[in-house]
């Protein structure tokens, strides 16, 4: 019985000794708990996404501005073209500040296919698809831009992200108003 107690005590002491040897020193613990620096400039996939999504918004909105059946849809689309063209120009200016950021200069094959689909649509079907496109893409962009905002390294990038988020919310509201106006007219 006495030997069992000695063995238990010895094992407990070795366990405590092992725990104290494996842990970080006080200096290491302080260093490891330091806040991490935001790193959006180290995420080229974000920049590619932002440029591609703005180019796609311009292309789709151009089709809707030309072929939309209601004045409200054509106005929303025209305003979207103007905004996203400027947003893309501003994004290019921001990206030029970083050596590791390369923005795409044209739409990818999948996006070009989507633009072609929109060009083939007519009438109410085009308006409906445009509304659905705006709602789905803008909600996805909002999520992405909100995450990116937390990582943005500088004020101009943060300002660009804030402008984008405000505009996306505004377009979502405008599309919702268009839906409610059309529903009331029926």
Q: How confident is the model at residue 71 (pLDDT cuts 50, 70, 90)?
A: very high
Domain membership of residue 168 (yes or no) is yes
pLDDT of 161 > 90? The answer is: yes
How far is residue 137 from each of residues 29, 55, 134, 141, 167, measured CA to CA in Å? 42, 12, 5, 6, 13
Number of domains in the chain: 2
Percent of the chain surpassing pLDDT 90: 65
pLDDT of 178 > 90? The answer is: no
CATH code assigned at 125: 1.20.1260.10
- The pTM (predicted TM-score) of the whole model is 0.75
Q: Over the stretch 90-137, which tens digit does the pLDDT of each residue have?
A: 999 999 988 888 999 999 999 999 999 999 999 999 999 999 999 999
Domain membership of residue 37 (yes or no) is no
Q: The domain containing residue 18 runs over which residues?
A: 2-32
In this structure, the answer to whether residues 22 and 112 fall within a common structural domain is no
Q: How far is CA 41 from the centre of its chain?
A: 14
Does residue 24 or residue 162 have the better pLDDT? 162
Per-state percent for the chain, helix, strand, coil, to nearest 5: 80, 0, 20
Give the model's pLDDT for residue 16. Answer: 57
In this structure, the answer to whether residues 89 and 154 fall within a common structural domain is yes
In this structure, the answer to whether residues 97 and 122 fall within a common structural domain is yes
DSSP state of 99: T
In this structure, the answer to whether residues 106 and 169 fall within a common structural domain is yes
Give the model's pLDDT for residue 169. Answer: 94
């Amino acid at each position: 019985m006495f030997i069992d107690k000695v063995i238990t005590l010895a094992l407990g002491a070795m366990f405590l000794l092992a725990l104290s040897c494996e842990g970080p020193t006080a200096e290491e613990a302080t260093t490891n708990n330091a806040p991490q620096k935001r790193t959006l400039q180290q995420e080229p996939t974000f920049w590619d996404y932002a440029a591609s999504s703005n180019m796609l918004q311009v292309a789709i909105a151009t089709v809707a501005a030309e072929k939309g059946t209601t004045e409200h849809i054509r106005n929303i689309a025209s305003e979207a073209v103007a905004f996203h063209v400027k947003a893309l120009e501003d994004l290019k200016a921001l990206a030029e500040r970083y050596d590791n950021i390369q923005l795409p200069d044209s739409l990818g094959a999948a996006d070009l296919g989507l633009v072609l689909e929109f060009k083939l649509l007519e009438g109410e079907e085009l308006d409906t698809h445009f509304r659905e496109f705006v709602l789905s893409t803008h909600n996805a962009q909002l999520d992405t831009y909100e995450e990116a905002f937390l990582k943005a390294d500088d004020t101009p990038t943060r300002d660009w992200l804030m402008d984008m988020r405000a505009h996306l919310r505004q377009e979502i509201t405008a599309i919702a108003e268009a839906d409610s106006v059309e529903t009331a007219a029926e």
